[in-house]
Amino acid sequence: MCGIVGYIGNRLAVPVLIDGLKRLEYRGYDSAGIAILEGDKIEVIKTKGKVSDLANMVEKKKFMANLGIAHTRWATHGEPNSINAHPHSDCSGDIVLVHNGIIENYLSLKKYLEEKGHTFKSDTDTEVLTHLIEENMKDCKSDSFTDVLFQSLAEVQGTYGLAIINKNYPDSLFIARKGSPILIGKGKDEYIVASDVAAVLRYTREIIYLEDGEIAEINRDGYHVLNSVNDEVQKKVQQISWNLEMIEKNGYDHFMLKEIHEQKNSLENTIRGRLNYEEGTARLDGLIDYIDDLKNAPRIVITACGTSWHAALIGEYLIEEFAGIPVEVEYASEFRYRSPIINEGDIVFVISQSGETADTLGALREAKRKGAIVLGICNVVGSTIARETDAGVYIHAGPEIGVASTKAFTSQVMVLIMIALMLGRMKNLPLERGRNIVNALREIPKLVEDVLKNDRKIKELAKILSNHNNALYLGRGYNFPVALEGALKLKEISYIHAEGYPAAEMKHGPIALIDEHMPTIVIATKDAIYEKIVSNVQEVKARGGTVISIINREDTKIRELSDEVIEVPHTITPLTPIVNVIPLQLLAYYVAIERGCNVDQPRNLAKSVTVE
Ligand code: F6R
């Protein structure tokens, strides 16, 4: 998704802006651009392709500016080229801006502005904003630029995170937000604005998040934030605990590989201080005000997208098993538009790594509109979803930069296990079972480390899998969502078509696909329905399929039936998803490497999807 960086201060703006864009590259983009106030002129430089290409173009020019904005674009309206890249300018070249989001009524605005004599250079929706502001400047009686911004943005339908410079306000940087995140990093006599905290961490960890409808004017010596009715608001400055090292590769070839290998630590961070062996339960302080509501909830709805939705499915199994509360899981994009029924007392959980996913945010707001208590499970502290939920639990996985989510997934599942355990212990889950679960949870980081150490076999299998165009992932019970997640990982980064299925569903259709060209990856660790999985593997083998199974070390039956196996250590069934997904993450990674794919920036994908 698009990325925004802006700078005002006493340093040279260009290196700060380029560094910020590089930190946002992981989000996915196709073109990049920069605008700086150089002397009394705004210089705009844009290019299709990489931030490094842009850096080469600007560095030659030795700009001295210390005010500027920059952008990485992920095309929505108009093809990826240097003309459609941001920043965009008005006719005079005095007002220049970068934009994340979508202006839905841009066609009618464009028509109106063309009739007024404005000339458009690009095919983007964004460019209408520059001309609209220019047009409104003509008639505006106030000499406050923020007044003009309020007036202009009131005419806009859609979403925006904006950073704007105006040649006639040479000591100010303006930002605005509706539906697309934008924040201010507060330094000493300098401010870095960005759509993502990763771009500012090098300079500061003091962050001010803008809310929807707010506009800010930032000078070197301070900032003013105005709310949607143009009143000044005092904003809380949030301290971010992430540091620069956490958002660097630290010797790994890719962020994804680094994050896969971080999972021992990230899982330790997720459970730290939250388990209580004596009581056989978990303590989640973020939910403390809603404990009674949770305990008495007639139903829990969990909504999310993508990998977070897979975690939600595991949450359904967990909460129903441990706590006996009915759970429904729904894609956030469906939930928000289909008049979902929320009855009195129902609790809605939203799960989001980034805390900025537009569909999940839409579902959150829909659930609140319907009167539900909405609780969050987020990674990014201070993100929009974290702020807008009534309460919630942070997963503490640390920054996830790789586009394909890995460590966030395992930490989300870990949090769901703790929620289910806590609820279960408040209801009917016996103390001894609670204690067993706590013990097993404490073991998990070690088991994960164990799997990570044994990746030689997975690398070998990746060579075989990389020659196929399709793959089927099968799992049952707690490991059905793991099959979905394994398939998603493979298709996202290696572009091999893969489907996840509940193993028993295979015979209701997908079995028709089985032949020697369709490898099947079966998650077959020991549990109560192990024998059923044995039958499913036999069904694949009987049709000439190749089977790669994830099995426990002590397994013999599936080992004999399978063509290849990946061994994982044993844990109690509800915790198996965390251990079993690790080899599937590694498999997807090494297959993508075999196929020469760009793992950290897979085609067409973006890290946090802030548009619908
Ligand atoms: C898959 C992936 C996506 C995200 C989805 C939700 O690897 O990363 O499917 O899980 O876009 O994102 P969050 O969790 O940030 O709401």
194-222 pLDDT, tens digit per residue, is 999 999 999 999 999 999 999 999 999 99
Q: What is the pLDDT of residues 504-527, one digit of tens each?
A: 998 898 888 998 899 999 999 999
Residue 412 has pLDDT above 80, yes or no: yes
Known catalytic residue at 378: no
Q: Is the distance from the beta carbon of residue 257 to the nearest atom of ligand 1 less than 6 Å?
A: no
* 612 within domain boundaries: no
Q: Please say whether the beta carbons of 165 and 42 come within 8 A.
A: yes
Residue 317 has pLDDT above 80, yes or no: yes
**What would you report as the CA-atom Rg of the chain, rounded to the nearest whole angstrom?**
26
- Buried/exposed 209-229: b ≥16 CB within 10 Å, e otherwise: bbebbbbbbbebeebebbeee
CA of 380 to the centre of ligand 1 (A): 13
**Is 469 found in the same domain as 332?**
no
**Is 266 found in the same domain as 195?**
no
Average pLDDT of the residues in 591-602:
93
Predicted confidence at residue 443, as pLDDT, reads 97
* 409 within domain boundaries: yes
Q: Please say whether the beta carbons of 322 and 421 come within 8 A.
A: yes
Q: Is the distance from the beta carbon of residue 84 to the nearest atom of ligand 1 less than 6 Å?
A: no
**Is 389 found in the same domain as 333?**
yes
Q: How far apart are CA 86 and CA 162, in angstroms?
A: 11
Q: Is the distance from the beta carbon of residue 609 to the nearest atom of ligand 1 less than 6 Å?
A: yes
Q: Is the distance from the beta carbon of residue 608 to the nearest atom of ligand 1 less than 6 Å?
A: yes
* 327 within domain boundaries: yes
Q: What is the pLDDT of residues 224-256, one digit of tens each?
A: 999 988 899 999 999 988 888 888 888 999 999
**Is 440 found in the same domain as 467?**
no
Q: Is the distance from the beta carbon of residue 308 to the nearest atom of ligand 1 less than 6 Å?
A: yes
Residue 575 has pLDDT above 90, yes or no: yes
Quick one: pLDDT band at residue 308, thresholds 50, 70, 90? very high
Long-range contacts of 51-59 (CB under 8 A, 24+ apart): 51/18, 51/21, 51/22, 51/25, 54/18, 54/21, 55/18, 58/14, 58/18, 58/34, 59/14, 59/18
Q: Please say whether the beta carbons of 62 and 45 come within 8 A.
A: no
Residue 608 has pLDDT above 80, yes or no: no
Average pLDDT of the residues in 80-96:
95
Atom 8 of ligand 1 has which residue's CA nearest to it? 405
Cβ-based neighbours of 359, under 8 Å, separated by 6 or more: 305, 331, 332, 333, 336, 609, 612
10 Å CB burial of residue 11 (0-12, 13-18, 19+) is: middle
3-state secondary structure 417-483: HHHHHHHHHHCCCCHHHHHHHHHHHHHHHHHHHHHHHCCHHHHHHHHHHCCCCEEEEEECHHHHHHH
CATH of the domain at 588: 3.40.50.10490
* 287 within domain boundaries: yes
Best of 74, 260, 308 to mutate for ligand 1, by most ligand atoms within 8 A of CB? 308
Which of 184, 159, 187, 181 has the alpha carbon at shortest distance from 173? 184
* 608 within domain boundaries: no
**Is 188 found in the same domain as 124?**
yes
Predicted confidence at residue 345, as pLDDT, reads 94
With tokens 């490094």, the residue in question is: 52
pLDDT above 70 covers a percentage of the chain that reads 100
Atom 16 of ligand 1 has which residue's CA nearest to it? 352
What are the C-alpha distances in Å from 584 to residues 27, 500, 589? 23, 12, 8
**Is 467 found in the same domain as 433?**
no
Q: How many domains does the chain have?
A: 3
CA of 302 to the centre of ligand 1 (A): 15
CA of 355 to the centre of ligand 1 (A): 10
CA of 403 to the centre of ligand 1 (A): 8
**What kind and span of H or E run contains 185?**
strand 183-186
CA dihedral 46, 67, 100, 85 (to 10 degrees): -10
**Is 189 found in the same domain as 266?**
no
With tokens 């063309």, the residue in question is: 114
Q: Is the distance from the beta carbon of residue 353 to the nearest atom of ligand 1 less than 6 Å?
A: yes
Q: What is the pLDDT of residues 146-184, one digit of tens each?
A: 999 999 999 999 999 999 999 999 999 999 999 899 999
Quick one: pLDDT band at residue 602, thresholds 50, 70, 90? confident
Q: Residue 197 gets which letter from DSSP?
A: G
Average pLDDT of the residues in 285-303:
97
Domain that holds residue 379: 249-450
* 483 within domain boundaries: yes
**Is 320 found in the same domain as 176?**
no
559: left (phi over 0), alpha (psi -120 to 50) or beta: alpha
Q: Is the distance from the beta carbon of residue 411 to the nearest atom of ligand 1 less than 6 Å?
A: no
CA of 378 to the centre of ligand 1 (A): 11
Best of 609, 611, 612 to mutate for ligand 1, by most ligand atoms within 8 A of CB? 609
**Is 461 found in the same domain as 442?**
no
Predicted confidence at residue 29, as pLDDT, reads 85
Predicted confidence at residue 339, as pLDDT, reads 85
Quick one: pLDDT band at residue 502, thresholds 50, 70, 90? very high
530: helix, strand or coil: helix
* 488 within domain boundaries: yes
Predicted confidence at residue 393, as pLDDT, reads 98
Phi, psi of 430 (to 5 degrees): -65, 155
Q: How far apart are CA 318 and CA 453, in angstroms?
A: 28
Known catalytic residue at 140: no
Average pLDDT of the residues in 460-485:
97
Q: Is the bond preceding 577 in cis, omega lying within 30 degrees of 0?
A: no
Atom 9 of ligand 1 has which residue's CA nearest to it? 306
Residue 374 has pLDDT above 90, yes or no: yes
Q: How far apart are CA 543 and CA 530, in angstroms?
A: 21
- Buried/exposed 152-162: b ≥16 CB within 10 Å, e otherwise: bbeebebbbbb
Average pLDDT taken over every residue of the chain: 94
* 605 within domain boundaries: no
Q: In this predicted structure, which of 24-28, 239-243, 267-271 has the lowest mean pLDDT?
A: 24-28
Q: How far apart are CA 94 and CA 40, in angstroms?
A: 10
Atom 11 of ligand 1 has which residue's CA nearest to it? 306
Q: Which atom of ligand 1 is nearest to the CA of 310?
A: 10
Q: Is the distance from the beta carbon of residue 109 to the nearest atom of ligand 1 less than 6 Å?
A: no
Residue 470 has pLDDT above 80, yes or no: yes
Q: What is the pLDDT of residues 337-349, one digit of tens each?
A: 888 899 999 999 9
Q: Which of 2, 305, 378, 597 is catalytic?
A: 2
User: Which of 391, 422, 450 marks a domain boundary?
Assistant: 450
Between 477 and 609, name the one with better pLDDT: 477
Q: Which amino acid appears at position 478 of this protein?
A: Y
CA of 307 to the centre of ligand 1 (A): 5
Average pLDDT of the residues in 27-44:
92
133: helix, strand or coil: helix
Cβ-based neighbours of 437, under 8 Å, separated by 6 or more: 280, 322, 417, 421, 572, 574, 575
**Is 177 found in the same domain as 272?**
no
Residue 422 has pLDDT above 80, yes or no: yes
Q: Please say whether the beta carbons of 69 and 6 come within 8 A.
A: yes
Handedness of CA 178, 130, 67, 171 (dihedral sign): negative
Q: Please say whether the beta carbons of 385 and 553 come within 8 A.
A: no
Q: How far apart are CA 19 and CA 11, in angstroms?
A: 13
Cβ-based neighbours of 317, under 8 Å, separated by 6 or more: 477, 478, 481, 574
Q: Which amino acid appears at position 476 of this protein?
A: R
CATH of the domain at 73: 3.60.20.10
User: Which of 216, 246, 276 marks a domain boundary?
Assistant: 246
Residue 1 has pLDDT above 80, yes or no: no
Q: Please say whether the beta carbons of 588 and 563 come within 8 A.
A: no
Q: How far apart are CA 225 and CA 231, in angstroms?
A: 8
Residue 2 has pLDDT above 90, yes or no: no
Q: Which of 22, 407, 491, 607 is catalytic?
A: 607
Predicted confidence at residue 312, as pLDDT, reads 98
CA of 608 to the centre of ligand 1 (A): 7
Residue 612 has pLDDT above 80, yes or no: no
Q: Is the distance from the beta carbon of residue 357 to the nearest atom of ligand 1 less than 6 Å?
A: yes
Q: Is the distance from the beta carbon of residue 361 to the nearest atom of ligand 1 less than 6 Å?
A: no
CA 154 distance to own-chain centroid: 29
Q: H helices within 262-357, ranges in order?
A: 263-271, 291-296, 306-323, 332-335
Q: How far apart are CA 145 and CA 150, in angstroms?
A: 9
Residue 554 has pLDDT above 90, yes or no: yes
**Is 202 found in the same domain as 59?**
yes
**Is 301 found in the same domain as 164?**
no
Predicted confidence at residue 241, as pLDDT, reads 87
Which of 156, 59, 145 has the alpha carbon at shortest distance from 110? 156
Average pLDDT of the residues in 570-598:
97
CA 427 distance to own-chain centroid: 33
Predicted confidence at residue 76, as pLDDT, reads 79
Q: Which atom of ligand 1 is nearest to the CA of 307?
A: 10
Residue 610 has pLDDT above 90, yes or no: no
User: Which of 187, 219, 246 marks a domain boundary?
Assistant: 246
Best of 350, 377, 405 to mutate for ligand 1, by most ligand atoms within 8 A of CB? 405
Average pLDDT of the residues in 4-19:
97
